[in-house]
Amino acid sequence: MKKHIKSSLIIIAGAILVMVNSSNANGPGGDRTGAPGSSGNCASCHGGTANLGGDIVISAVDKTTATVATEYTPGKTYTIGIKMGGTSTKKGFQITAINSSNVGIGTFSGNSTGTRIYSSGNRSICGHNTPGLGVWYVDWTAPATASGTVSFYASGVVSNANGSDNGDQMVKTSFNLTAAAASKTEQINSAINFTVYPNPASHELKFSSVVSSVSIMNQTGKIVYSGKNVNQVNIENFANGLYFVNAIGENQTPICKQFIKQ
């Protein structure tokens, strides 16, 4: 009887050990991004000094223009990429965004498969919930008003896949987005808010505000109209088709719109 009890205890202890050693496969939770004020980084749980060729890089792409971003405009959304190198096929990470006061800033959404978004204190965290190959994406929407430089901190683990928390490689990095200059933000907002109407148009094309200069080009690239300090253009003599408006608006804002003459 004692022998059976002893064997059962060994089995249970072994099961518990396996559970503990594999618990971080679903992500550790909390804030282990390595950001100031966090609970450290992935080395808090994963030991060892192994070199598995690991590294981690953060990138940002403006979803509107599909261009690499080095600064943010209030209210706009950016796709944040987290890419890890290394020889292992089992990798994990956590990332957060904070302002200069170490407070969480912006909103995460649209995370890729194998990750989850949750809160830790006043910060939003995106991290793995299943080990991955090392490429993840999450959308980040900037705050409605500029808040200085935003810093992204990420920490990750390149696992040696031995079923324990020993012998892994921990990697970490940070990445900054500075706030766009106020004049640039005003230009972007002016361009977004500027409209041409009616569209389609038959007789007159009107602008939502006066432009200091404007040129209208047809589909072949020929300029069919140019003018200054106008808010409407007579287009009765234009041939039917698609036209492009290039103008300079308020705050020297470059404006590009299109309309159909019918």
Superfamily of domain 23-179: Reeler domain (2.60.40.4060)
Structural tokens at position 94: 């956590």
What is the spatial distance between Cα 255 and Cα 246, in angstroms, rounded to a whole number? Answer: 6
- Return the H-helix or E-strand segment holding 241: strand 241-248
CB atoms within 10 A of CB 162: 11
Q: Mean pLDDT for each 10-residue chunk of the chain (262 residues)?
A: 45 38 61 93 70 93 91 94 93 96 96 96 95 95 93 94 80 94 65 88 94 93 94 96 91 87 96
The verdict on pTM exceeding 0.85 is no
**Contact in structure between 33 and 55 (CB atoms under 8 Å):** no
What is the spatial distance between Cα 21 and Cα 95, in angstroms, rounded to a whole number? Answer: 22
CATH 2.60.40.3080 residue ranges of the chain are 184-261
Looking at 2.102.10.10, 3.40.50.150, 2.60.40.3080, 3.40.50.10470, the CATH number of the domain 184-261 comes to 2.60.40.3080
**Contact in structure between 214 and 233 (CB atoms under 8 Å):** yes
